[in-house]
């Protein structure tokens, strides 16, 4: 009886947590591991599961969390590779939410590790654990944030194409704004030319982006009537 129990214990194999993790990456031992399953090439949608929750990760051991971390890291690298290839071929990346799911799972693993590290520090040292790394972002309400934090502003730009696109969009917005101001100047000049006794304050309120006091000395506002003055 004891010998049979001993043999069963020797032949027992624990369940590998990695084997129970479903990923969309294709299992290969070469560079094809960085690409998706060939059956997903050209697909409009790729089915994938949800991200890992905090409750599911809290019941796992540190070893299982480490294994899961590397599985998610491999999955993320594969998705980034496929996204880059689709962008180079001017194609839409199928199911881009997969990247968000992987990143959410990795962020939650970091949160669980910090919880356990904080508990260890409070138990052994009596202090809180150091704060984990924080991703610093630019203040959207600060107009000089790009000047004060130049390095962060550069790192937010993904590539040269994105930077060029933002520059062209800003140039287009400025051109449209200038066109709008010139249109308002022509309308205000036409009103001043036709109605010389027009209330200047009301006209300024209607066109706040036009300098009415400067515009009334423009020759375009002078009509052939007796109210024109220099």
- Residues 112-161: pLDDT tens digits? 999 998 888 888 888 887 777 665 665 666 665 555 555 554 555 456 67
- The pair phi, psi for residue 131, each rounded to 5°, is -65, 145
Res 219: pLDDT: 73
How many other β-carbons are positioned within 10 Å of the β-carbon of residue 103? 14
Res 61: pLDDT: 93
Do residues 185 and 210 lie in contact, with contact meaning Cβ atoms separated by under 8 Å? yes
Among candidate residues 187, 163, 155, 61, the one with its CA nearest the CA of residue 112? 61
Res 67: pLDDT: 94
Among candidate residues 194, 191, 188, 187, the one with its CA nearest the CA of residue 227? 194
| pLDDT confidence bin for 3, thresholds 50/70/90 | very low
Q: Residue range 32-40: average pLDDT?
A: 73
- Report the phi/psi class of residue 180: left, alpha or beta, with left for phi > 0 and alpha for psi in -120 to 50: alpha
Do residues 212 and 202 lie in contact, with contact meaning Cβ atoms separated by under 8 Å? no
Report the share of the chain in percent with pLDDT over 70: 71
Among candidate residues 65, 64, 72, the one with its CA nearest the CA of residue 16? 64
* Predicted model pTM: 0.47
List, for residues 49-80, the tens digit of each pLDDT value.
Answer: 889 999 999 999 999 999 999 999 988 988 88
Which of 28-37, 148-157, 159-168 bottoms out in mean pLDDT, i.e. has the lowest? 148-157
Please tell me what DSSP assigns to residue 48: -
Reported as type and span, the H/E element at residue 177 is: helix 160-194
Do residues 57 and 108 lie in contact, with contact meaning Cβ atoms separated by under 8 Å? yes
Spatial CB neighbours of 147, under 8 Å, sequence gap ≥ 6: none
How many other β-carbons are positioned within 10 Å of the β-carbon of residue 137? 10
Res 8: pLDDT: 38
Mean pLDDT of the chain: 75
Report the share of the chain in percent with pLDDT over 90: 16
CA distance 230 to 224: 13
CA dihedral 104→110→113→119, nearest 10 degrees, is: -100
Among candidate residues 73, 88, 58, the one with its CA nearest the CA of residue 21? 73
CA distance 40 to 26: 10
């Amino acid at each position: 009886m004891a010998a049979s129990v001993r043999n069963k214990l020797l032949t027992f194999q624990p369940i590998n947590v990695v084997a129970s993790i479903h990923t969309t990456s294709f299992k290969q031992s070469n560079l094809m591991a960085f690409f998706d399953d060939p059956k997903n090439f050209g697909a409009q949608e790729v089915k994938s599961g949800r991200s890992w929750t905090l409750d599911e990760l809290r019941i796992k051991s540190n070893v299982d969390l480490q294994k899961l971390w590397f599985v998610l890291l491999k999955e993320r690298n594969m998705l980034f590779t496929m996204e880059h290839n689709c962008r180079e071929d001017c194609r839409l990346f199928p199911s881009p939410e997969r990247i968000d799911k992987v990143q959410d799972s990795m962020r939650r693993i970091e949160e669980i590790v910090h919880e356990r590290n904080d508990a260890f520090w409070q138990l052994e040292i009596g202090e809180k654990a150091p704060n984990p790394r924080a991703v610093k972002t630019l203040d959207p309400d600060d107009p000089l944030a790009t000047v004060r934090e130049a390095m962060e502003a550069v790192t937010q730009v993904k590539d040269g194409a994105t930077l060029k696109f933002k520059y062209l969009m800003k140039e287009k917005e400025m051109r449209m704004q200038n066109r709008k101001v010139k249109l308002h100047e022509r309308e205000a000049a036409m009103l001043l030319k036709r109605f010389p006794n027009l209330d200047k304050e009301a006209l300024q309120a209607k066109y706040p982006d036009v300098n009415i006091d400067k515009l009334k000395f423009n020759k375009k506002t002078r009509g052939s009537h007796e109210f024109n003055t220099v």
